[in-house]
Amino acid sequence: MQFHTKDLRDKCFLVTGGAGFIGSHIVAYLLAHGAEKVRVLDNLMTGFRKNMEPFMGHPAFEFIEGDIRDFETCKRACSGVDYVTHQAALGSVPRSVKDPVTSNDVNVTGFLNMITAAKDSAVKAFVYASSSSVYGDEPNLPKVEERVGNPLSPYAVTKKTNELYADVFARLYGLKVVGLRYFNVFGPRQDPDGPYAAVIPLFVSGILKKAPVYINGDGEQTRDFTYVENAVQANILGMLTDNDEAFGKAYNVAVGENFSVNFLYESIREMLGQTHEATYRAPREGDIRNSLADITKARTLLGYKPTQRFMEGLKATVDYFKAQ
């Protein structure tokens, strides 16, 4: 599906974190729609070469293995670039609780390096990944962009800091920035392995392998699960919008529907035709209880319109992991 109207044949894009889950889907979209150059900057800490294998022979694809914590690397990556979509980050609330220093180094120092390099290179737009975690202890549903609470984790602090820096760069330097508050993005290529894997690939992988599957708390916590195609759409719209009113803001990227973790588990189990039981354990530190997005702002200013709802995306994701 096409989310843009501009000709991409004379445009150069930088995707930081392009070897990762969301980043690799953005790269695939840009190459499929004829971008003149798509450059990826990734240190392969949480990204994978296998995610870039389909692009390696493409004449428009370029890969820089490097770290956003190094400013000179960021400057080199931004050279000659028209648009930046900054997806490189160290995700996971539990990871940040265990090691807040590294999360800060990557997500705050790395972000500042990238947005500064983008500003110095006079890019046309800088889109970056924020997170629904910035809402913290704000109790009201649905989540509206202008109403946030206190962060509940170091990860949430890093993403809130990104938004503060972006706001200053927009007002001080006139940089055209767009922040995207992702709500539980999922889909093919999301890593099912490791201690900080996301819930959907963990569930699918555990059920298929008949390994222990854990649900934190009572499982009645809810999430606005967002298929990756919707996140790609938001990035493309954010970079290419002609609406000057759209810049300098952060947007919810979600569907506007929420489902419990218990419902998610039952749905996956049903799609796999399995009866594998989950094990319940203590709630996770730093987790938000309920999450649901109001996407009016993104619809109005960016023209965002989710193309994939939860069950459609979940079916595609389960089918992907079954085929692996």
* Residue of 155, 182, 265, 304 marked catalytic: 155
* Locus of tokens 């998610």: 264
Supply the DSSP string of 228-271, one letter for each residue.
HHHHHHHHHHHHH---GGGSSEEEEES-S--EEHHHHHHHHHHH
DSSP SS3 for 169 = helix
In Å, how far from its chain's centre is CA 219?
Answer: 23
Percent helix / strand / coil, the chain, rounded to 5:
40, 15, 40
- 155 catalytically annotated: yes
Nearest to 191 by CA among 206, 207, 202: 202
Rounded Cα–Cα distance for residues 244 and 214 (Å): 45
DSSP SS3 for 289 = coil
| Those residues with Cβ within 8 angstroms of residue 14's Cβ, 6 or more apart along the chain or in another chain | 39, 40, 41, 77, 78, 81, 83, 84, 85
Provide Rg for the chain, Cα atoms. Answer: 19
Structure tokens at 243: 């609406």
Beta strand 222-223 with 259-260 is antiparallel
Rounded Cα–Cα distance for residues 163 and 145 (Å): 12
Contact of 180 with 127, CB cutoff 8 Å: yes
Task: Please list the active-site residues.
Answer: 155
